[in-house]
Amino acid sequence: MTDLIADRWLLDRPNSYIGRSVPRPNAPRLAEGRGAFVDDIETGGRTGHAAFVRSPHAHARIGSIDAEAARAAPGVIAVVTGRELAEIHDPWVGVLSHLQGLKSAPQYALPLETATWQGEAVVAVVAESRARAEDAVELVKIDWEVLPAVTDAETALDPATTVIHESLGDNLAWRRNADFGDIEAAYAEADHIVEETYVFARHTGVCVEPRAILADWNPGEGQLTVWHNNQCPHMVQNILATHFRLDEHRVRVIARDVGGSFGIKVHTYADELATVGLSLLLKRPVKFVADRLESFLSDIHARDQRVQGKVAVKDDGTILAFEIDALSGIGPYSMYPRTSGIESNQIVNLTGGPYAFDHYRAQATVVFQNKNMMCQYRAVGHPVKCAVTEGLVDAAARATGMDPAEIRRRNLRADDSYPCKSAQGLPFENLSHQESLAKLLDAMDYDALKAERDALRTEGVYRGIGLASFIEVTNPSAMFYGVGGARISAQDGATMRLDARGNVFVATGATEQGQGMEAVISQVAATAVGVPPERLKIVTGDTEHTPYGGGTWASRAAGIGGEAVAQAGRALRQQILRAAAVMLQEEAENLDIRGGVVVERASGAERIGLDEVGRVCYYRPDTLPDGFQSELVATRHYVPRQYPFAFTNGAQASYLEVDVETGFISLLDHWCIEDCGTVINPQLVDEQIRGGIVQGLGGALWEQCVYDSDGQMLNANMADYLVPMAAELPDMRCGHVVSPTFESDLGAKGVGEAGTCGAPAAVMNALNDALAPFAARLTDMPFTPQKVLRALGKI
């Protein structure tokens, strides 16, 4: 592998910025308060501020709406109902053709007849300020007819249960069955079949910046401009054009700075489309910024899975088969356009992923319910499939009396077995499970840690060690969404241009969410062209100024967006060198660009500055030979074609202590060895891993959207919904194995979700290791003190 890396033109560049922790170019701007978040955008005094009357009921028919008092309230511009908005837009249905059988009902910007979850926006109020709008919201009277709420996924398909959408016939959104190999034969061959049920609570991604949209319809120009903190500006452009019956080139979507997204801001939210509709109706700018309370009730939730798992293992520790039966309640609609079936689909596709086994059976059932909608949040399906797999592997270890590290060593795919396919038939290009596990055990000093744990146990201190190997889907091709009919770009483009003073302009379809994408793009661009990063200007997040691209999701921006930049940068370098060669009467092949200067390739001797190349090409083309026209702008696009996904892999470990009197869990240490291929910016990669781990730990220990049986969310505020806080978090130690993808020149895979994927599994296994001396086992996240005490029989 080392030889191949050495062959790569990009990684081999002189003065490479790849692999260096260069500072983020956008950091000073943000630190100085000069960010351009949606709420920072000024569109003048005519701007209306939207607030919504949200359903207080989980399921209720919308009767008469009395908005007279609200319309008459001070500062109110308009009160608009679903029926009025429906005049100017077409509803959407969140299905994908490759998730066969997935169904959903048409969803409108505001519902026409029935509210189907508590917190669903039902009536819009636009006023001169958000405060005035909120005042008027309180004055809108709706004659509700409360309907029975479907809240329990387990009984959603019972004949006695209310059907949420009569047109669909039942509450089944989707069911997938998968059967690979011969699982019955595997069961017959196995010495042990261990079964366990795992529960993953509903939780959500809590962004520092809530969802926000500012829509400005200019009827004079026939132009809709939308500032929107979405991860995918081009996707939003297409959706707005489609559903508001506009020409796509008359819709401009701008997503400059985004204060965290985590998959929360990659969807079609009805209240955001309502805001666009309000601007079209009122012919003025309308802004909607979700507040924290409505964020909890309307930002997508995720997970909410109950998975029965089974593993078949032989006495020698060989794992023969996995089987799962997963049930998930997704809320009343499948989210558009990515659908709410993907999380379950990922669980079916990826369970058992790190291990070499041949027999697999899975069922995933996805049902509608009257709770907030669920969809893709960081590491879609991954924390679930990882915890189920790793919980079962630990169960197999117990059944066979093997050490958890040893059973993993025996069953993880060999590092020299690639390329190969998973039991589910997904191709793996180049992974490093064995090396990652070895590095992990070394980093944590596994044997010494076990000895410490055992010694402390005799003193009544209960500590546990948990391991979790994982795979992660990154760099998705069109096989993820495009093949199912969604207009979500799998490819990304980059345009790079040499300006007259020798600086380089870069426009990319990848988007900045606060994760440092601008830094990564600048490193690749600087390296590919041969200029220092400070000579670059990076433009992201504007459908009018960036090449078509997918944006940021599924850990794709560096691997796909970055590769497009690499190719555009190389093309620009060649264009510059052709021009320089003409000026210098030299062969272009003998030249290179290093440090912003054209040099002689062999000696590195400086020949001509890029500023001089720019000056001549733009201002004195008359001095160039006839027939030579310089071209100093290049656009390249990239999409993975050979592999549907660039799988990454890694291994995590947790070390924790359980206070068996209080049930409190203290996280003592956490490790992650990750293989994301080429590491472009080590600091940003490690921070991605750490941030991901934190969100994984949140799901394992704290975060849960608690609903009562009437479908009321009981903790929709920052006091009661427990996001992880620094004081409770352990040190997180990161390490790397580098197995680049050979599909791109950059070789980078994604890293955004690896931490979230493995952390809950590692914590669950550590917790149960700590509780091993007791007849206590916990597989129901989040692991609260009360659950621990109950498992211990203390209460």
Q: For residue 203, what are the β-bridge partners?
A: 302
Q: Residue 135 or residue 512: which is nearer to other proteins going by CB?
A: 135
485, 488, 435, 499: which is closest to 650 by C-alpha?
A: 435
The CB-of-122 to other proteins minimum distance in angstroms stands at: 18
Q: Is 719 in the site for other proteins (CB under 8 A)?
A: yes
- Number of helices (H), then strands (E), belonging to the chain: the values are 20, 28
Q: Is 695 in the site for other proteins (CB under 8 A)?
A: no
Q: Is 72 in the site for other proteins (CB under 8 A)?
A: no
Chain centroid to CA 359: how far? 30
Q: Is 177 in the site for other proteins (CB under 8 A)?
A: no
Residues 489, 350: Cα–Cα separation, whole Å: 23
Per CB under 8 A, the segment of 125-133, 370-378, 566-574, 765-773 that binds other proteins is 125-133
- Binding-site member from 72, 188, 455, 714 for other proteins (CB under 8 A): 714
The amino acid occupying position 332 is P
Residues 248, 240: Cα–Cα separation, whole Å: 8
Residues 112, 106: Cα–Cα separation, whole Å: 11
**329, 153 Cβ separation under 8 angstroms:** yes
Query: How many CB atoms neighbour CB 344 within 10 A?
Result: 30
- Binding-site member from 131, 146, 188, 455 for other proteins (CB under 8 A): 131
DSSP 21-48: -PPPTTHHHHHTT----GGG----TT-E
Which residue bears the tokens 């910024």? 289
Per CB under 8 A, the segment of 268-276, 289-297, 352-360, 487-495 that binds other proteins is 289-297
Q: Residue 40 or residue 134: which is nearer to other proteins going by CB?
A: 134
Residues 444, 160: Cα–Cα separation, whole Å: 53
119, 52, 258, 206: which is closest to 718 by C-alpha?
A: 206
Q: For residue 312, what are the β-bridge partners?
A: 193, 321
Mask for 83-102, x = binds other proteins (CB under 8 A): --------------------
**566, 501 Cβ separation under 8 angstroms:** no
Q: Is 666 in the site for other proteins (CB under 8 A)?
A: no
Q: Residue 448 or residue 719: which is nearer to other proteins going by CB?
A: 719
- Which residues have CB under 8 Å from 246's CB, separation 6+? 224, 240
Q: Is 661 in the site for other proteins (CB under 8 A)?
A: yes
Q: Residue 177 or residue 662: which is nearer to other proteins going by CB?
A: 662
Per CB under 8 A, the segment of 55-63, 229-237, 590-598, 659-667 that binds other proteins is 659-667
Q: Residue 113 or residue 138: which is nearer to other proteins going by CB?
A: 138
Q: Is 728 in the site for other proteins (CB under 8 A)?
A: yes
481, 359, 383: which is closest to 102 by C-alpha?
A: 481
The CB-of-198 to other proteins minimum distance in angstroms stands at: 22
Tell me which H or E stretch contains 439. helix 433-444
- Binding-site member from 36, 356, 722, 772 for other proteins (CB under 8 A): 722
# of chain residues touching other proteins (CB under 8 A):
31
The CB-of-704 to other proteins minimum distance in angstroms stands at: 9
Euclidean distance between the first and the last CA atom of the chain, given in angstroms as a whole number = 56
The CB-of-705 to other proteins minimum distance in angstroms stands at: 11
Query: How many CB atoms neighbour CB 223 within 10 A?
Result: 15
Residues 479, 490: Cα–Cα separation, whole Å: 8
Residues 32, 208: Cα–Cα separation, whole Å: 18
Per CB under 8 A, the segment of 348-356, 612-620, 650-658, 661-669 that binds other proteins is 661-669
Q: Is 702 in the site for other proteins (CB under 8 A)?
A: yes
Q: Is 664 in the site for other proteins (CB under 8 A)?
A: yes
Q: Residue 470 or residue 721: which is nearer to other proteins going by CB?
A: 721
Q: Residue 624 or residue 722: which is nearer to other proteins going by CB?
A: 722
Q: Is 737 in the site for other proteins (CB under 8 A)?
A: no
Q: Is 775 in the site for other proteins (CB under 8 A)?
A: no
The CB-of-721 to other proteins minimum distance in angstroms stands at: 10
Q: Residue 371 or residue 453: which is nearer to other proteins going by CB?
A: 371
Tell me which H or E stretch contains 258. none
Q: Is 134 in the site for other proteins (CB under 8 A)?
A: yes
Q: Is 772 in the site for other proteins (CB under 8 A)?
A: no
- Binding-site member from 532, 717, 731, 774 for other proteins (CB under 8 A): 717
Which residue bears the tokens 């999409």? 639
DSSP 744-775: SSS-B---TTHHHHHHHHHHHHHHHHHTTTTT
The CB-of-790 to other proteins minimum distance in angstroms stands at: 8
Q: Residue 414 or residue 706: which is nearer to other proteins going by CB?
A: 706
Beta strands of 165-296 (E only): which ranges?
172-180, 192-204, 212-218, 223-228, 251-254, 286-289
Residues in the site for other proteins, rule: CB under 8 A? 129-131, 134-135, 138, 291-293, 661-664, 702, 706, 714-715, 717, 719-720, 722, 724-725, 727-728, 784-786, 789, 794-795
